[in-house]
Amino acid sequence: MDFYNSLIARVNEGTTFAPYNHINLTKVAHDFAEGELTITPESLNPLGIVHGGCTATLADTVAGTAVLTRGKSCVTLTSTLNYQRPGTGTVLKCAATVRRSGGTIAVCDVSVTDDAGLEIASGCFTFFMKDEPLVQESS
């Protein structure tokens, strides 16, 4: 299994945070990741739209994975997500691109869209890259 597919498997499988929250990575390449959130009744706020925290969780997961393609462990330092419209439908999709990466800091742009392809949120995430290689699980 190549490095990018192992990242997808690491996030998508098992009892980790992403599967528990109905988040699935769909594509990973150098400095890039895509993923989606399957909208369930538990994803909705009292108004019947996707809770902003679910949208932020999707964006953070996908952005963090884009940064992990650099081969180092990382943690989120800051996140800004600007909401343009309500999240509705069956699936939210997120694309994340590393805009800049130095020795320890990486900045990643994100865009979240709905079923119709309309952008519902966009933002910027900053990550601290630890001075340790990403531990690859044995296959």
The pLDDT value given to residue 130: 93
Please list, residue by residue across 2-29, b when 16 or more beta carbons sit within 10 angstroms of its beta carbon and e when fewer do. Answer: eebebbbebbeeeeeebeebbbbbeebe
The pLDDT value given to residue 139: 44
Report d(CA 30, CA 78) in Å as an integer. 22
Query: Do the domain assignments include residue 137?
Result: no
Mapping DSSP onto H, E and C, the string for 1-25 reads: CCHHHHHHHHHHCCCCHHHHCCEEE
Query: Do the domain assignments include residue 57?
Result: yes
The pLDDT value given to residue 16: 84
CA distances (Å), 60 to each of 2, 7, 56, 68, in order?
23, 15, 6, 12
Helix (H/G/I), strand (E/B), else coil: 41 = helix
Query: Do the domain assignments include residue 85?
Result: yes
Could you tell me where the beta strands, DSSP code E, fall in 39-118?
Answer: 72-83, 91-101, 105-113
Report d(CA 27, CA 32) in Å as an integer. 8
Report d(CA 81, CA 120) in Å as an integer. 10
Domain CATH for 101: 3.10.129.10
Query: Do the domain assignments include residue 84?
Result: yes
Domain count for the chain, please give it: 1
Report d(CA 10, CA 47) in Å as an integer. 33
Query: Do the domain assignments include residue 67?
Result: yes
The pLDDT value given to residue 114: 97
Query: Do the domain assignments include residue 138?
Result: no
**Domain interval for residue 52:** 3-132
Residue type, 33: A
Query: Do the domain assignments include residue 126?
Result: yes
Q: Chunked in runs of 10, what are the mean pLDDT values of the chain (139 residues)?
A: 90 87 96 98 97 98 97 96 97 98 96 97 97 66
Report d(CA 94, CA 111) in Å as an integer. 6
